[in-house]
């Protein structure tokens, strides 16, 4: 059960990644510049430029491509025959009727349902409680698969708080059924880190993504900043930080 407070990991992630870390740096530099520091003024200009670049389609596409290229050309795994489909949860949204799966989770569910129809393999959904008072994300995912895609879920893993938990708890559930290999459904930019996590469990994981982003382009429209591309850059940077954290922890 999640406590009625923001997890420290979530706070540190918000503070350590753009845009917040760059905005805070701009504020600090602006205060120093106001007090007469010319170097601080230059730093503010550089940091603001970095923030604008991260909000452009060109830079966000490059960051996404740095992750997705590993899924676009995966290393062959000989002798692996998946016997299940694991769909990783992403986020929850809230409306008048309460909590439901968010857009990213819905994209993964659609890909998982399509794979289920092609292969006939059973589905496992994984995701814990993301907000106090909400049901586990996995329960919302199972309901969406049943109601929206007419795809029954065999296993519901309701405890995972992060990608590492997704891997550990899902692998344990499948091993209890004698399953040693499974498809893992997530976004292509998230799958490299997810596969690293599953690799530590010993469960053979075959990646399956909803779609790959288009190759980066560098025409004039791709250099016009937009808030949604800043969000894409944030996702990509968070993944690289997460992979670095995995490498350090071993």
The model's pLDDT over 49-60, given as tens digits with 9 standing for 90+, comes to: 788 888 889 999
Q: Are residues 182 and 105 in the same domain?
A: yes
pLDDT at residue number 13: 58
Q: Are 109 and 89 in contact (CB under 8 A)?
A: no
pLDDT at residue number 96: 86
Instruction: Read off the pTM.
Output: 0.82
Q: What is the C-alpha to C-alpha distance for residues 202 and 219, in angstroms, rounded to an integer?
A: 44
pLDDT at residue number 55: 87
As for how many domains the chain has, the answer is 2
Q: What is the C-alpha to C-alpha distance for residues 82 and 174, in angstroms, rounded to an integer?
A: 11
Q: Is 88 a member of any domain?
A: yes
pLDDT at residue number 2: 38
Q: Are residues 61 and 105 in the same domain?
A: no
CB atoms within 10 A of CB 95: 7
pLDDT at residue number 27: 67
- Residues near 241 by Cβ (< 8 Å), separated by ≥ 6? 13, 16, 17
184: helix, strand or coil: strand
Could you give the residue ranges of the DSSP H alpha helices within the chain? 8-16, 20-34, 38-54, 57-72, 103-119, 137-148, 163-175, 191-199, 227-249
Q: Are residues 130 and 18 in the same domain?
A: no
Q: What is the C-alpha to C-alpha distance for residues 170 and 7, in angstroms, rounded to an integer?
A: 23
Q: Are residues 97 and 53 in the same domain?
A: no
The model's pLDDT over 118-148, given as tens digits with 9 standing for 90+, comes to: 999 999 999 999 988 899 999 999 999 999 9
Q: What are the Cα distances from residue 38, in Å, to 17, 34, 181?
A: 26, 9, 59
How high is the mean pLDDT of the chain? 86
CATH number, domain with residue 156: 3.40.50.620
Mean pLDDT lowest for which of 42-51, 70-79, 169-178, 202-211? 70-79
Q: Kindly state the average pLDDT of the residues 54-79.
A: 82
Q: How confident is the model at residue 31 (pLDDT cuts 50, 70, 90)?
A: low
Q: Are residues 104 and 189 in the same domain?
A: yes
**Could you give the dihedral angle defined by the CA atoms of residues 121, 163, 56 and 21, in that order, rounded to the nearest 10 degrees?**
170
Domain that residue 168 falls in: 78-208
pLDDT at residue number 213: 73
Q: Are 213 and 68 in contact (CB under 8 A)?
A: yes
Q: What is the C-alpha to C-alpha distance for residues 122 and 158, in angstroms, rounded to an integer?
A: 17
Q: What is the C-alpha to C-alpha distance for residues 16 and 139, in angstroms, rounded to an integer?
A: 31
Q: At 148, list the tokens.
A: 């929206």
Q: Is 214 a member of any domain?
A: no
Q: Is 134 a member of any domain?
A: yes
């Amino acid at each position: 059960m999640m406590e009625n407070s923001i997890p420290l990991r979530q706070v540190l992630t918000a503070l350590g990644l753009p845009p917040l870390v760059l905005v805070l740096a701009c504020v600090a530099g602006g205060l120093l510049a106001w007090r007469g520091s010319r170097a601080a003024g230059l730093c503010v200009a550089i940091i603001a430029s970095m923030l604008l670049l991260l909000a452009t389609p060109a830079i966000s596409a490059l960051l996404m491509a740095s992750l997705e290229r590993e899924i676009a050309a995966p290393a062959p795994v000989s002798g692996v025959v998946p016997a299940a489909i694991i769909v990783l949860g992403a986020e929850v949204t809230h409306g008048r009727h309460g909590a439901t799966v968010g857009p990213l989770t819905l994209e993964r569910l659609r890909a998982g349902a399509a794979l289920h129809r092609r292969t006939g393999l059973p589905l496992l959904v994984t995701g814990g409680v993301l907000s106090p008072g909400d049901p586990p994300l996995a329960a919302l995912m199972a309901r969406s698969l049943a109601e929206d895609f007419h795809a029954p879920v065999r296993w519901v893993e309701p405890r995972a708080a992060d990608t590492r938990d997704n891997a550990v708890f899902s692998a344990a559930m499948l091993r209890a059924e004698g399953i040693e290999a499974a498809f893992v459904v997530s976004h292509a930019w998230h799958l490299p880190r997810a596969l690293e996590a599953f690799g530590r469990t010993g469960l053979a994981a075959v990646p399956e993504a909803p779609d790959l982003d288009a190759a980066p382009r560098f025409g004039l429209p791709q250099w016009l900043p937009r808030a949604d591309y800043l969000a894409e850059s944030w996702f990509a940077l968070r993944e690289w930080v997460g992979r670095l954290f995995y490498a350090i922890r071993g």
